[in-house]
Amino acid sequence: MYEKNGKSYYCPVEAALDILGGKWKPLILWYLKDGKLRFSEINQIIPVVNSKMLTKQLRELEKDGVIIRTVYPEIPPKVEYQLSELGKSVIPILNALCAWGCDYLGVTELHDSELICEQENS
């Protein structure tokens, strides 16, 4: 039994999945790998998630120490999100999961915008 941030895990894998397993978390982490993003930018990249859910996922990621939230005291407000060192260390894991997922889905080729959520409005 392992403890971290007030949560209990039977094994380290469970802890990893707890942190990465949110519906939008892999996507968020993936897009942050290239640098900082503002709240509205993330929301534009993943338009199917509403602001409440996005906020929740971002706060959990922040609480778990994988992203860093920076608030600029300006009007209008500006908030930037970026990966922490721990967050950067999950990118290889995401790549491994992506490779396995591609194998599972029978996808042989990945284009650059692989993880982009291009949801039509229709």
What is the end-to-end Cα distance of the chain in Å, rounded? 47
Q: Concatenate the DSSP letters of all residues of 31-82 into one string.
A: HHTTS-EEHHHHHHHSTTS-HHHHHHHHHHHHHTTSEEEEEE--SS-EEEEE
40 binds DNA (CB under 7 A): yes
The CA distance from 48 to 53, in Å, is 10
Q: Say which residue the tokens 């706060």 belong to.
A: 59
22 binds DNA (CB under 7 A): yes
Stretch that binds DNA, among 26-34, 43-51, 83-91, 97-105 (CB under 7 A): 43-51
Both tokens of 30, joined, read 């993936």
- Based on CB atoms, which residue is closest to DNA, 2 or 110? 2
14 binds, among a second copy, DNA, none (CB under 5 to 8 A by kind): a second copy
Nearer to DNA, 51 or 110 (CB): 51
Give bridge partners of residue 72 from the DSSP assignment.
78
Q: Supply the minimum distance, in Å, between the C-beta of residue 57 and DNA.
A: 7
Q: How far is the CB of 62 from a second copy (least distance, A)?
A: 15
Shortest spacing between CB 70 and DNA, in angstroms: 10
Which residues here bind DNA, judged by CB under 7 A?
Answer: 22-24, 38-41, 48-53, 55, 58-59, 69, 76-80
